[in-house]
């Protein structure tokens, strides 16, 4: 669905979350924590924050997106 551009970085986050939960059995909270898509910000790979109870993780978000 990402490669056919039915969902992706340009899709509204609530709509994308609903598709991932309903069709691909993602956890709802994980589907709302997609940091970026790759390669080139539009590809089928996703960087998702699934960590629980980790402090200051958002401080490295920009670095992780750049590395991804």
- Residue 40: per-residue pLDDT: 84
Structure tokens at 47: 């960087």
User: How does residue 68 score in pLDDT terms, banded at 50, 70 and 90?
Assistant: confident
Instruction: Parse the chain into domains and list their residue ranges.
Output: 13-67
Q: Are 21 and 3 in contact (CB under 8 A)?
A: no
The tens digit of pLDDT for each residue in 30-40 reads: 999 999 998 88
For 10-34, the pLDDT digits (tens) are: 999 999 999 999 999 999 999 999 9
The DSSP output letter for 54 is -
pLDDT in tens, 38-51: 888 888 999 999 99
The model's pTM is 0.81
């Amino acid at each position: 669905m990402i490669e056919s551009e039915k969902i992706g970085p340009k899709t509204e986050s609530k709509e994308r979350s609903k598709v991932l939960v309903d069709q691909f059995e993602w956890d709802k909270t994980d589907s709302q924590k997609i940091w970026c898509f790759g390669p080139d910000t539009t590809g089928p790979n996703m960087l998702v924050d699934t960590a629980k109870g980790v402090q200051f993780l958002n401080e490295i978000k920009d670095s992780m997106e750049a590395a991804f």
